[in-house]
Structures are given as structure tokens and as C-alpha cells.
């Protein structure tokens, strides 16, 4: 039972409270113990050092760690005391991430007209069975999108500057099943979860 609790995930924030990682409770407690992290209470945003945290009794019904002489509360969120790394990007298939992958650049003519002048183009048009996937969606400027219309690049006599691929960014969460409700206060749902309609 203790081992299982120690393997629960803890959200790790950098000093600016941006999520950078997910660690096991065991690792989070080690960081707390050696003062490289503090626990953040997601309910009131209070921060706790090891000394403060270890004096708190677990609340009724919440998971705890049974140590030799005490019961320890299980941290859900910790913040690193000396760490400025920026958050790792996730590869969720979202509008934002397509813009990022394609560097705000039209993948046909190479212009960078600014976000509002860019559209998401289905390389093989949906009308011809094209899917909304990393490998079939690219940024296109309004002019290129209009010119291409409901045709493939070949049909339109246009050429992609490079083949679209799924970006190789390290996802923050390996699986949504490890997410904990209180994390949503620190991780924008819109940012992480928006998936484009198929």
C-alpha cells in the first residue's frame, strides 16, 4: 500500500509555477526532504517545507504515507526552489501546436504574415478523404489557401516546402490517466487539451 502511494504522480512546477514535469510522490518527497522543492497546497497555494509538511496530519479520507512514527500527507504539487527550466511542450494535436511546428510560416509560399493571416490547410482536402492529423495539416496563408482550394498540392500545382510530421516534443504527461484534479489550477486546460475536430 505504501509503495503504491509512493508511485502516485506529483506535478512539478518550476520557480515561476509553470509545470515542468511529473514525478513520483517518492521523488517529490526526496526533493522536499533535501530542500530542492516545496509542497504547494493546491487549495490555498500555501507552500510547505519538509519541516512544515511533515507536521501536518493527513485529512480524513485522503491518502497518506505510514512512516514509522507518523503519517505523512501525499503531495500533489511541488515547486522547485532553484530551477528555471521552461515547461516541455506537449504534442497534442492542436491549432496552437501546428502554428508552433510550422513556425508561423505558410508551408507553400513561406510568408510569415502573422497568426491571424494564417489558416490550417488540409494537404489532402477533407472533401477527398483527407484527415485532421499531424501529417495532413499545415499552415497556409490566406492567399495560398484560397488558391489551393479543395485540391491536393499536385492538383493545384503547388508544392509543400516540407512534409508535415508529428513533432518530436517530449510530452509532459505520458498518459491522461495520471492527471490529478487539482493540477488543473496550474495547467491550463485549454493549452493542454484542445484537440482539433476531425
Helix (H, G, I), strand (E, B) or coil at 163: coil
C-beta neighbour count of 75 within 10 angstroms: 24
Residue closer to Zn ion, measured from CB, 78 or 141? 141
Name the minimum Å distance from CB 142 to Zn ion. 8
Residues touching Zn ion, count (CB under 5 A): 5
Per-residue DSSP letter, 187: S
In angstroms, rounded to a whole number, what is the distance separating the alpha carbons of residues 61 and 81?
30
Nearest distance in Å: CB 149, Zn ion: 13
**Closest separation in Å from C-beta 118 to Zn ion:** 9
Of 21, 23, 162, 166, the closest CA to residue 91 belongs to 166
| The only residue of 72, 141, 158, 187 in contact with Zn ion, by rule CB under 5 A | 141
98-137 positions binding Zn ion, by CB under 5 A: 106, 108-109
Nearest approach in angstroms of CB 105 to Zn ion is: 9
H or E element at residue 147: helix 142-148
Which is nearer to Zn ion, 22 or 144 (by Cβ)?
A: 144
Angle in degrees, CA 155, 116, 186, rounded to 5: 115
Identify residues 29-88 at the interface with Zn ion (CB under 5 A). Answer: none
* Binding residues for Zn ion restricted to 144-183, rule: CB under 5 A: 144
Name the residue nearer to Zn ion (CB basis): 24 or 112. 112
Q: Identify whether the C-beta of residue 73 lies closer than 8 Å to the C-beta of residue 58.
A: yes
Residues that bind Zn ion (CB under 5 A): 106, 108-109, 141, 144
Amino acid at each position: 500500500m505504501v509503495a503504491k502511494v509512493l508511485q502516485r504522480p506529483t506535478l512539478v512546477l518550476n520557480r515561476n509555477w509553470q509545470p515542468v514535469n511529473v514525478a513520483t510522490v517518492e521523488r517529490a518527497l526526496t526533493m522536499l526532504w533535501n530542500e530542492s522543492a516545496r509542497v504547494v497546497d493546491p487549495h490555498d497555494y500555501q507552500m510547505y517545507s519538509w519541516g512544515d509538511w511533515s507536521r501536518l496530519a493527513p485529512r480524513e479520507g485522503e491518502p497518506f504515507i505510514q512512516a514509522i512514527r507518523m503519517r505523512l500527507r501525499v503531495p500533489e504539487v511541488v515547486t522547485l526552489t532553484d530551477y528555471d527550466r521552461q515547461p516541455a511542450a506537449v504534442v497534442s494535436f492542436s491549432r496552437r501546436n501546428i502554428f508552433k511546428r510550422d513556425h508561423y510560416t505558410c508551408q507553400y509560399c513561406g510568408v510569415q504574415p502573422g497568426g491571424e493571416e494564417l489558416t490550417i490547410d488540409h494537404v489532402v482536402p477533407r472533401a477527398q478523404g483527407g484527415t485532421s492529423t499531424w501529417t495532413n495539416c499545415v499552415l497556409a496563408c490566406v492567399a495560398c489557401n484560397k488558391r489551393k482550394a479543395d485540391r491536393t498540392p499536385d492538383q493545384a500545382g503547388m508544392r509543400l516546402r516540407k512534409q508535415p510530421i508529428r513533432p518530436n516534443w517530449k510530452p509532459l504527461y505520458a498518459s491522461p490517466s495520471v492527471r490529478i484534479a487539482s493540477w488543473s489550477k496550474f495547467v491550463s486546460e485549454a493549452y493542454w487539451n484542445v484537440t482539433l475536430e476531425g
